[in-house]
Amino acid sequence: MGGKQSTFFERLWLTFIVSGQVIVAPAIAFAATYFIDFGGILGDQPLLRVNLIPWILGAALGYGLLSLTLALAVGGWMPIGVADKGGWLPVLGASRRMRDAAMVDRARMHLMNSPHGKLMQIVHREFHERKRPLMEVHGGLQLLAAPLQIALAITPLLFLKYIPSEWLVPNRLLEVAMIGYLIALALVLRAFPGYSERLVGPASSIRRFLVNVTRINWMFPVLMLWLVGRIFVGFAFGWMQPDLSQWQQIAFEKTVIEAFLPVEVEIPETSFLDMLVALAVLPMATFTTMAVLGGGREDLPDWLVEKESQWVDLDGDGEDGGGDDGSDEDESGERDDDGGAFDSEASGAEATDSDEDDSDGLDLAGALSKARGLVQKATKPSNDRDGES
């Protein structure tokens, strides 16, 4: 532990980044999209759309918390302390098998095989073994997640584009789009550790170069991805040319926001597109940050990091032991010969006794034991003559 580098300040900063990704980033993105109406510069309408402030704040908080929940649930997030106690069921009181050996093993295997656990292992390897700065690894993973975030934003629209129209229920387009989104999110999070394991090194170097040259801060990549995703989704939505009257059946959004904010809420016509962008950018961003936050710990258990040096090579031990036996045989050949004769006699006697006691045994075993005894009798006189000579 003393030789490991402390990551307290880096992980503390990552904690603030997660909070900013969940609350601050969507609020800034929504405000930049809707709060300023550039048509009001030369027209009669107001420049600032103050009436959208309740929706901007409510949607930013709601989509941020929803994205965090999806990232943790679909990504298989589980603290190490929870795994050591047997998983979520004993910790939440749904099971009385706290610290049960079978439950602990099952929870540990679940964490190791989950996307969150695999990404933690990658972060630990890059930071502790390859000596990359923790924030550099975080930036590399965020860079690798960018194309997947764009794909997540477009997937629900493509899902609705190519699904047969007779399968769609009127006024249920939102539910169908969310089903396609959840399927895509599960596949992307499952594939992301394997995809990033090979490319996290070069991506980290590219991110370090971009930071040194452009001096971008932690929020710039999220906002840039939001802008790019919003453009792609807008093009895809225009290409599909859907019936906007069906897409406006999202009254639950207004109901939920008004339940928390005691004011009348006005929702923009294209709020559905912003929801797609938010659910594409934010879950991947928080998923990678949470994985770096967990993988950067100095006290990760051995069962999770799987260091090769901590595994015992049984074959290697057997080979070493065989080599020692060979050297002893070279040093005292007569003793080994006598031991071999004694072993062969003992094995022959045991085989004979077993044949007598178990007469119903296999004929093949009896024949082998008899042949072994004959070979022993035939070779014993020659060994005695060699000893006398």
* pLDDT per residue as tens digits for the range 277-307: 888 899 999 999 999 999 988 888 889 986 5
Last residue of a domain, one of 308, 331, 357: 308
Separation CA 245–CA 228 (nearest Å): 26
Mean pLDDT of 125-130: 89
What pTM did the predictor assign? 0.72
Q: How confident is the model at residue 333 (pLDDT cuts 50, 70, 90)?
A: very low
Same domain for 319 and 304: no
Same domain for 271 and 376: no
Mean pLDDT of 94-106: 92
- Can you give the pLDDT at residue 191? 93
- What percent of the chain lies above the pLDDT cut of 70? 65
Please determine, for residue 327, whether its predicted confidence score (pLDDT) is greater than 50: no
Tens of pLDDT, residue by residue over 135-182, are 899 989 999 999 999 889 888 878 777 777 777 776 677 777 788 889
The SS3 of residue 48 is strand
Separation CA 23–CA 178 (nearest Å): 22
Same domain for 284 and 240: yes
In a domain? residue 255: yes
Please determine, for residue 366, whether its predicted confidence score (pLDDT) is greater than 80: no
Same domain for 375 and 355: yes
In a domain? residue 237: yes
In a domain? residue 102: no
- Can you give the pLDDT at residue 362? 46
- 104 and 85 Cβ atoms separated by less than 8 Å: yes
Same domain for 295 and 154: yes
Paired strand residues for 36: 48
Q: In this structure, what DSSP letter does residue 266 have?
A: -
- 6 and 128 Cβ atoms separated by less than 8 Å: no
Same domain for 156 and 49: yes
Last residue of a domain, one of 272, 287, 308: 308
Closest to 271 measured CA to CA, from 286, 257, 287:
257
In a domain? residue 217: yes
Same domain for 225 and 342: no
- What percent of the chain lies above the pLDDT cut of 90? 23
Please determine, for residue 1, whether its predicted confidence score (pLDDT) is greater than 50: no
The distance in angstroms from the start CA to the end CA of the chain is 65
Same domain for 127 and 252: yes
* Helices and strands per DSSP (H, E), number in the chain: 17, 0
Mean pLDDT of the chain: 75
In a domain? residue 230: yes
- Can you give the pLDDT at residue 323? 46
- Can you give the pLDDT at residue 334? 45
Count the helix, strand and coil residues of the chain and give each as a percent rounded to the nearest 5. 80, 0, 20
In a domain? residue 197: yes
In a domain? residue 124: yes
- Can you give the pLDDT at residue 212? 74
Question: Which one has a higher pLDDT value, 201 or 336?
Answer: 201
Distance of CA 143 to the CA centre of its chain: 17
Question: Which one has a higher pLDDT value, 360 or 104?
Answer: 104
Burial of 122 (0-12, 13-18, 19+ CB in 10 A): buried
Same domain for 135 and 150: yes
- Can you give the pLDDT at residue 25? 86
Last residue of a domain, one of 293, 308, 323: 308
Mean pLDDT of 325-332: 46
- Can you give the pLDDT at residue 102? 93
> 49-63, 138-152, 252-266, 333-347: which has the minimum mean pLDDT?
333-347
Q: In this structure, what DSSP letter does residue 165 have?
A: G
Same domain for 31 and 68: yes
Please determine, for residue 15, whether its predicted confidence score (pLDDT) is greater than 70: yes
In a domain? residue 14: yes
Q: What are phi and psi of 76, to 5 degrees?
A: 75, 35
Please determine, for residue 321, whether its predicted confidence score (pLDDT) is greater than 80: no
Same domain for 347 and 210: no
Positive or negative: CA dihedral 200, 202, 204, 207: negative
The CA radius of gyration of the chain, in Å to the nearest whole number, is 34
- Can you give the pLDDT at residue 339? 45
Question: Which one has a higher pLDDT value, 375 or 207?
Answer: 207
Looking at the structure of the chain, the number of domains it has is: 2
> 104-108, 247-251, 333-337: which has the minimum mean pLDDT?
333-337
Mean pLDDT of 59-64: 87
Same domain for 369 and 293: no
Range of the domain at 323: 314-388
